[in-house]
């Protein structure tokens, strides 16, 4: 029995087919990505990179003016729908509107979040619940809304935007740390449930990236900034596009055998000393 001409001995692909595959494997042509918190920061950077890789994107967030400006800056491959994922019932409404206007999302990026810098003993129950509602409850609700369609089609990619706070202790951010740490369990459980149906679930854990949120977190705290850079082997803060490019990879065919993974994009901070 002869082998397929594109299969090398041992089951690998031939040089020609491998080269052809690599040329397209990192592309997102034909994909529709729904990105929460997509008007600013890492959400916008992710959208920009995905558009550059051929995807259409739908940005969502609470501020319509910010979304409108962001979508206009991204060009013809971007649309927006204003929505607050933390509002009960909003996720199902959003998923329905997006599907009717633009088609069913094939990629979901759970990026929306709020920050709270405060000592743990001063963080109130209301403040904790507000952070958890946006990050955890909102992300779960939207995942629950779009996942059935992905399962029915036998394909899809769901990406959670975690944090270094998912991986180790950081002072003064107990609510944020609790929310981002919850993503770890969500990603692992969702990956085990959804991957048999062709839907991959992964998480990026950004290190300290130059965004408005990170600047607020370090505002008036130069010692904190020095500590961060001192434990980051790369010796600098990351750029939003560093995270966006990682998102493109995880949602592309190049990562078709990657699910349940946590990818630090942190200049080595998680392994630095």
Question: What torsion do the CA atoms of 260, 191, 171, 43 make, to the nearest 10 degrees?
Answer: 90
Q: From start to end of 111-191, where are the E strands?
A: 156-161
d(C-alpha 263, C-alpha 245), whole Å: 12
- Of 41, 85, 73, 34, residue with least CA distance to 56: 34
What span, in angstroms and rounded, lies between the C-alpha atoms of 135 and 182? 9
Report the C-alpha gap between 206 and 32 in whole angstroms: 23
How far apart are alpha carbons 189 and 211 in whole angstroms?
Answer: 30
Q: CA 123 to CA 172: how far, in whole Å?
A: 9
Cβ proximity of 190 and 203 under 8 Å: no
Given 80, 176, 183, 249, the catalytic residue: 176
Among 217, 241, 232, 194, which Cα is nearest to 117's? 217
Query: Is 176 assigned a catalytic role?
Result: yes
CA atoms of 190 and 67, how far apart (whole Å) = 29
Strands (E), 42-182: 56-61, 78-82, 107-110, 156-161
Q: What angle do CA 154, 158, 160 make, to 5 degrees?
A: 165
Which residues are identified as catalytic? 176
């Amino acid at each position: 029995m002869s082998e397929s001409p594109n299969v090398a001995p041992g089951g690998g692909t031939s040089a020609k087919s491998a080269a052809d595959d690599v040329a397209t494997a990192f592309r997102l042509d034909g994909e529709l990505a729904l990105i929460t918190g997509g008007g600013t920061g890492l959400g916008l950077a992710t959208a920009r990179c995905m558009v550059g890789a051929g995807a259409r994107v739908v940005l969502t967030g609470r501020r319509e003016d910010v979304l409108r400006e962001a979508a206009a800056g991204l060009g013809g491959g971007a649309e927006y729908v204003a929505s607050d994922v933390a509002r009960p019932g909003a996720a199902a409404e959003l998923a329905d509107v997006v599907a009717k206007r633009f088609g069913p999302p094939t990629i979901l990026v759970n990026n929306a979040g709020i920050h709270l810098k405060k000592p743990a003993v001063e963080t109130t129950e209301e403040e904790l619940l507000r952070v958890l509602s946006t990050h955890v409850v909102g992300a779960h609700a939207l995942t629950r809304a779009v996942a059935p369609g992905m399962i029915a089609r036998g394909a899809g990619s769901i990406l959670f935007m975690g944090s270094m706070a998912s991986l180790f202790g950081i002072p003064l951010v107990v609510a944020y740390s609790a929310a981002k740490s919850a993503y770890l369990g969500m990603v692992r459980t969702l990956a085990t449930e959804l991957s048999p149906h062709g839907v991959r679930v992964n998480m990026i854990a950004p290190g300290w990236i130059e965004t408005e949120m990170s600047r607020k977190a370090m505002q008036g705290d130069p010692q904190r900034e020095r500590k961060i850079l001192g434990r980051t082997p790369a010796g600098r803060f990351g750029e939003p596009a560093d995270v966006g490019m990682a998102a493109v990879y995880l949602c592309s065919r190049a990562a078709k055998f990657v699910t349940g993974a946590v990818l630090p994009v942190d200049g080595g901070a998680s392994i630095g000393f």
